[in-house]
Structure 1
């Protein structure tokens, strides 16, 4: 979501304009898909749907429409607040950011960002961080957690919000997202997977009067095999909510893209929860409802919010009364929302919000967006931190990625004489939360900026960490080499540098979210600082806090640059987590969640940021499947550091691999299970009286309500027999369908997730220090198949416990049917392209260090001197 943007024309004009699709390049289609599939047909949601449908059958029209939209910007304690149905026991639902912690609140934990979690390559940590975040959101009374983020995928290395997700590979992103969802929802909080889909750039993503939002033009196969993959896994994990992206897909805005919401998400992937708009991303009333949108956030129209205008609420009531929207479409939306509520057990002693995202004061207006608002206690300062700092510190530590370590420069000895350079080493001197939504890059960079940020309860900076170690150091809090640093022969210089990005409602140092001004360079003259320090000192260590790939070529190979560490975005625990690695308490075990290039020219031109275009900006994904390491391999480009690279203070060997067939493969999956029964909804339009304003109701101006004045409601009801009907889109139907062959359960046809092969591999610590190893499994499709595939593709990974020197452990990995399939555009199904072919299954510590190959033909494994790339 984003902060408030005000534009200036009537909502009616805008609504008419955005309903019309704008032509996109040939071959990129967004077909219609109607009607919205009713939810409730999977057995694992049946009880919650039964409870929800019983409730809905006893709700009035206004009670139902009140549940489907927010009460308006700044009209409640949370960033989003639905209406309520108190007569039947449903309170307002609180929706709150964000992916790394509870935004704009107190006594919370500022966890490491998603990209940092991805760099751990640790499934257990992914889950435990999710649990800890869920506990904090529940403790603050948040019903719906607006995270995790699995879109953008990181297609564009300069994209502003890549750091909110887990890495530039769909499988790494999928595990990070799905395990976070399982952790968050394990404590009863509804997780929200976002943003569906292909919102890979911040600039020009949003619709406005000036121009429509960007159209991400993606072919069907690429959509399925890359960008949809993490969403499928999140749905399979039972996620309760999905948030739509601001941009369009193939010319149709995501918030009203019927193919995307109805066809792919709710039918093909079997999503049983509810679909919400991003904040002010809803562009129409009836069209978005018919296309499958279930909840409008924050409820206002996108052109001029805060005037009390809405596409839904009272307008939804009107559209039901006049027959524009079928009654079962509203009932299905409300049932989906309430089913998620019941699925997470929120009807049983769930806390109410005890914080206010709008103020840090104890007392304040209850509805800050209103000109005149009642006041009261809005912040109760409930401490929800528990022991979550330990989880945050463990994530920050185990994500630290050692890229280079010459001559054993690391770990440091206890009596090392240190000279510390760079403002990134110490907290922002103006205050750790002095910039709203972290919209600046001053001091230690622990997170990017925007709605995905959180307030620090404290920030343990690297300087704090050095002090706690009683280290012998001198700190120069500057981004240029001072003349008085007085280099001595035994000194070790540690240089702290950074690169930032964020959401585009904030511009930081001329970067409007995306890194447009900084490109992939370090900020604050970081390259020159490293060069100057390297010229003065003979032993230099560089620590990088960054949102993503940065160019290292200006100094990486200088003789005195002996070690390079990526600490990513560590959140509040930047200090001690780093000290544990620098001083060798723990061996580094992080691995890169993206590729580091030698130049921006390494990338295909199609992943550059799209600049201003007259009309709707077009972002056409002509590179198809070839992003990040897939592109580097196809183009035969050697990067500075490969995807998955990460060193340790010890060494590991992979051996004794075995591959075992589990489920026999066929070219196409077995037939999908049939849909189970769904609730039966009445189709009779309710009486107009169900939408009348209650007598003597105290109204708050700008607050969004579901009621209509009596004459207005009566006119709407009378119009149901009018000859002027809503112009339904081509192909519109109200008949429920059996669903596509690729569906059948949450995530798709359940046979797709059957284990086809099980692998075990022994990892041995062959060095002298204890450490954790990461085994990465990549698939190489058989040669000669009639479909193009990347050279290798990540399919699974596992991280060992800490292994002592000489100790071994067996790690288990798996390959599913889906892992060995491609999306067949003609068949609209997942197909194994060569059932009898020999799939190469490669295992190693990095995408460019794969030394164990197993073949699916003969089920044999061997150790090799060279890998596939």
Structure 2
């Protein structure tokens, strides 16, 4: 993840950009049908947090401002946006659930030093995210101590003065919700609001400071390249003012190649993500002498080209990414069938999603069947899916489930390769005797072919693990997360009635066994986890130590400036549809007269104050109270490749189980740390260290408004936390106990 962040940062810098609109940690993946889950890292706050923090570190070390998004509760695409007829849906989230699940990765992003945060389209608890003062001022800027800039999602700002006072710093892209005439809720309206006293001058200076502070922090004031490309055309020349209806043309693209050798990293990421779910009889890996028939249009790149569909808003050919604003153009596309043919030149390929009429295969012939499931942003509808998978649900697209069944009826050995944005229901064919192996190749991008064949043919052992659970039925989850919210008159209400219980947390609570559990992933070899030790690092108190006092804030003038500062510069010629902050003299004078008279056009909201307050006890540093990141316990475990034939990487996962008498409702186990080993040869070992911080063993107390360690006893004693170690959330056979500081092997899993 870190290396990927470095590569992204280098490419953004090479193109002369300033801001990277990523990483995505919202949606968290609460709803399996959610359209943009694929842009994030998985349905767990710690998984999302660690991946995002490493991405931010890698990107920002290259001098590029990272933007963590979408803040917050953007877990469904449909009905997310405010429009003239309906407000965006309201994600109704209780305080504890907000802190322990959805805010967790944002706090880790702030702790990692992220330069920007993007608000979501929807509302939270009835208030639009772009003007939700509790979320922006109260939690993000005060409790989490965020010092960077808060930007809106594109066209999501719905008020001028309200969003300014609520803490929004940048309106993207600046226009109103209908960007036709070049009007904005800010531009000169923000100038007018400062002059008439509706927005305090120091709030305006705070906006500017936060934006420029991120620019300085990344060193963009020194030798930062200027943009050398246009997102509006692939041609060398194009409009110099693309937002104008009429524009002079000139060179806008310099075709700077920033790829370097990043294809190797892209291949490694795609390869390490491939997850082997099933491998009966060791049918995988294949040999170069295997007799192979390949079925499914997903095996071959879109015949019209990998970038033929704008914003990738189609599911034609190999699925390498979802659709919407989170996509990129492929510089090339190495598809699976080409890579397979490089291994087995005589392979038979049936480029169809309907099973063809073929001769009866021999018992040693192998069918490799490719199926997909796609999703994306609500801006596009693909095959009747409105961003979310509202039409296809958790079934494979293009009749993929039937294709697998028909192949299984004809062949004795079937290998299924799935390119997907998220979980699917596999029950119609997963137990068929001839379905021997199943690979989730997820969304592999440009290196789809080589990354897959390296695993299929045994050059490497698969080492991917599921970032979500795969249930046997959609109804294994409660309705609040299993289903999308449909149309309603007025504001759609999406109430998080399941609380903390999403994905594996929900299944464990209900004692429902999934088809494949969160964290599941097989290998061509086996691993032994032994010699575990646990040591206490930092003694814990019930709540974190008191936060330090707030430092001085920047000293800004508060006197409304002269109206003349807002006049258009003499002789300036504006470009139609471009946004400028200046007013005509008569308008500026009129606004200043209101402000100077002390009668602002809009009254300040209730509770607005210019007095510095001490701030919440949970705050005090980047991401919250600095003590939350104190390491409480450290676990080491020896990982040995216990197989005889294949090298492989193990993914060691640590889950925490709270003391049984903790006075809080807590999930059975929760992921808290993980490490992937190097490729270990047969018999080779590596020692892995896993850490639990104060925050990892805390809960959010809604009355104290602080993180509480429920294991702390009166008199300084500590109840027993159990740290379960294994290779999946349901394969936890080793436990370490925090009270006795001992570890046991060969146990039955807690779930």
TM-score norm. by structure 1 comes to 0.85
Instruction: Give the alignment of 1:84-163 within 5 angstroms.
Output: 126-163=1-38
Which residue is 1:227 aligned to? Answer: 102
Q: Is the contact between residue 414 and residue 471 of structure 1 (CA under 8 Å) also seen in structure 2?
A: no
| Distance change in 2, residues 1:499/1:276 (3 Å) | same
- Distance (Å, rounded) in 1 between the aligned partners of 2:155 and 2:182: 13
Which residue is 2:623 aligned to? Answer: 747
Matching of residue 756 in structure 1 with residue 616 in structure 2: no
Greater shift after overlay, 369-378 or 772-781? Answer: 369-378
Q: Pick from 742, 745, 749: which aligns with 1:863?
A: 745
Q: Is the contact between residue 593 and residue 644 of structure 1 (CA under 8 Å) also seen in structure 2?
A: yes
Q: In angstroms, what is the RMSD of aligned CA positions?
A: 0.9
Q: Displacement of 1:470 after TM fit?
A: 4.2
- Distance (Å, rounded) in 2 between the aligned partners of 1:364 and 1:665: 61
Q: Pick from 558, 582, 592: which aligns with 2:456?
A: 582
Q: Displacement of 1:370 after TM fit?
A: 1.2
Q: Displacement of 1:825 after TM fit?
A: 0.2
Q: Displacement of 1:468 after TM fit?
A: 2.5
- Distance (Å, rounded) in 1 between the aligned partners of 2:405 and 2:360: 16
Q: Pick from 832, 840, 847: which aligns with 2:722?
A: 840
Deviations 1:211-231 (A, max 9, x none): 000000000000000000000
Q: Is the contact between residue 822 and residue 831 of structure 1 (CA under 8 Å) also seen in structure 2?
A: yes
Which residue is 1:305 aligned to? Answer: 179
Which residue is 1:12 aligned to? Answer: none
Which residue is 1:650 aligned to? Answer: 525
Deviations 1:549-583 (A, max 9, x none): 00100100001000000000001000000010001
Matching of residue 602 in structure 1 with residue 602 in structure 2: no
Which residue is 1:116 aligned to? Answer: none
Deviations 1:43-65 (A, max 9, x none): xxxxxxxxxxxxxxxxxxxxxxx
- Distance (Å, rounded) in 1 between the aligned partners of 2:352 and 2:264: 31
Q: Is the contact between residue 416 and residue 472 of structure 1 (CA under 8 Å) also seen in structure 2?
A: no
Partner of 1:852: helix, strand, or coil?
Answer: strand
Q: Is the contact between residue 244 and residue 278 of structure 1 (CA under 8 Å) also seen in structure 2?
A: yes
Q: Is the contact between residue 160 and residue 513 of structure 1 (CA under 8 Å) also seen in structure 2?
A: yes
- Distance (Å, rounded) in 2 between the aligned partners of 1:839 and 1:868: 13
Which residue is 1:341 aligned to? Answer: 215
Partner of 2:628: helix, strand, or coil?
Answer: helix
Q: Displacement of 1:723 after TM fit?
A: 4.0
Which residue is 1:43 aligned to? Answer: none
Which residue is 1:444 aligned to? Answer: 318
Instruction: Give the alignment of 1:418-437 within 5 angstroms.
Output: 418-437=292-311
Matching of residue 246 in structure 1 with residue 121 in structure 2: yes
Q: Is the contact between residue 197 and residue 599 of structure 2 (CA under 8 Å) also seen in structure 1?
A: no
Q: Pick from 344, 349, 353: which aligns with 1:479?
A: 353
- Distance (Å, rounded) in 2 between the aligned partners of 1:472 and 1:262: 63
| Distance change in 2, residues 1:317/1:475 (3 Å) | same
Which residue is 1:236 aligned to? Answer: 111
Q: Is the contact between residue 644 and residue 847 of structure 1 (CA under 8 Å) also seen in structure 2?
A: yes
Structure 2 gap segments, 5+ residues each? 713-717
Q: Displacement of 1:467 after TM fit?
A: 2.5
Which residue is 2:286 aligned to? Answer: 412
Q: Is the contact between residue 197 and residue 598 of structure 2 (CA under 8 Å) also seen in structure 1?
A: no
- Distance (Å, rounded) in 1 between the aligned partners of 2:703 and 2:83: 36
Which residue is 2:137 aligned to? Answer: 262
Q: Displacement of 1:864 after TM fit?
A: 2.7
Which residue is 1:665 aligned to? Answer: 540
Q: Is the contact between residue 290 and residue 344 of structure 2 (CA under 8 Å) also seen in structure 1?
A: no
Instruction: Give the alignment of 1:286-685 within 5 angstroms.
Output: 286-302=161-177, 304-484=178-358, 486-607=360-481, 608-685=483-560
Q: Displacement of 1:684 after TM fit?
A: 1.1
- Distance (Å, rounded) in 2 between the aligned partners of 1:725 and 1:309: 20
Q: Is the contact between residue 634 and residue 791 of structure 1 (CA under 8 Å) also seen in structure 2?
A: yes
- Distance (Å, rounded) in 1 between the aligned partners of 2:539 and 2:220: 42
Instruction: Give the alignment of 1:27-106 within 5 angstroms.
Output: none
Partner of 2:398: helix, strand, or coil?
Answer: coil
Partner of 2:191: helix, strand, or coil?
Answer: helix
| Distance change in 2, residues 1:425/1:485 (3 Å) | farther
Q: Pick from 696, 712, 716: which aligns with 1:819?
A: 696
- Distance (Å, rounded) in 2 between the aligned partners of 1:600 and 1:252: 30
Greater shift after overlay, 306-315 or 552-561? Answer: 306-315
Partner of 2:26: helix, strand, or coil?
Answer: coil
Which residue is 2:715 aligned to? Answer: none
Which residue is 2:658 aligned to? Answer: 781
Structure 1 gap segments, 5+ residues each? 1-125
- Distance (Å, rounded) in 2 between the aligned partners of 1:282 and 1:441: 32
Greater shift after overlay, 841-850 or 353-362? Answer: 353-362
- Distance (Å, rounded) in 1 between the aligned partners of 2:245 and 2:401: 50
- Distance (Å, rounded) in 1 between the aligned partners of 2:341 and 2:433: 29
Which residue is 1:173 aligned to? Answer: 48
Q: Displacement of 1:693 after TM fit?
A: 0.5
Deviations 1:408-466 (A, max 9, x none): 10000120010000000000112211111000000000000000111111110001211
- Distance (Å, rounded) in 2 between the aligned partners of 1:727 and 1:440: 49
- Distance (Å, rounded) in 1 between the aligned partners of 2:571 and 2:691: 63
Q: Is the contact between residue 373 and residue 700 of structure 1 (CA under 8 Å) also seen in structure 2?
A: no
- Distance (Å, rounded) in 1 between the aligned partners of 2:609 and 2:180: 35
Which residue is 1:23 aligned to? Answer: none
Greater shift after overlay, 648-657 or 373-382? Answer: 373-382
Partner of 1:543: helix, strand, or coil?
Answer: strand
Partner of 1:288: helix, strand, or coil?
Answer: helix
Task: Kindly tell me the number of residue pairs found equivalent between the two proteins.
Answer: 743
Deviations 1:135-185 (A, max 9, x none): 011111110110000000000000000000000000000011110000000
Deviations 1:667-706 (A, max 9, x none): 0111112222231111111111111101111211111011
Query: Which protein has greater RCO, CA pairs closer than 8 Å, 6+ apart?
Result: 1
| Distance change in 2, residues 1:828/1:485 (3 Å) | farther
Q: Displacement of 1:543 after TM fit?
A: 0.2
Q: Displacement of 1:488 after TM fit?
A: 2.4
Q: Displacement of 1:368 after TM fit?
A: 2.1
- Distance (Å, rounded) in 1 between the aligned partners of 2:361 and 2:571: 78
Q: Pick from 734, 743, 767: which aligns with 2:643?
A: 767
Partner of 1:204: helix, strand, or coil?
Answer: coil
Greater shift after overlay, 841-850 or 727-736? Answer: 727-736
Q: Is the contact between residue 415 and residue 471 of structure 1 (CA under 8 Å) also seen in structure 2?
A: no
Which residue is 2:731 aligned to? Answer: 849
Q: Is the contact between residue 546 and residue 617 of structure 2 (CA under 8 Å) also seen in structure 1?
A: yes
Which residue is 1:9 aligned to? Answer: none
Partner of 1:845: helix, strand, or coil?
Answer: strand
- Distance (Å, rounded) in 1 between the aligned partners of 2:30 and 2:598: 50
Partner of 1:376: helix, strand, or coil?
Answer: strand
Which residue is 1:698 aligned to? Answer: 573
- Distance (Å, rounded) in 2 between the aligned partners of 1:534 and 1:218: 45
| Distance change in 2, residues 1:723/1:803 (3 Å) | closer
Q: Is the contact between residue 168 and residue 593 of structure 1 (CA under 8 Å) also seen in structure 2?
A: yes
- Distance (Å, rounded) in 1 between the aligned partners of 2:505 and 2:686: 30
TM-score norm. by structure 2 comes to 0.98
Q: Displacement of 1:306 after TM fit?
A: 2.6
Q: Is the contact between residue 279 and residue 298 of structure 1 (CA under 8 Å) also seen in structure 2?
A: yes
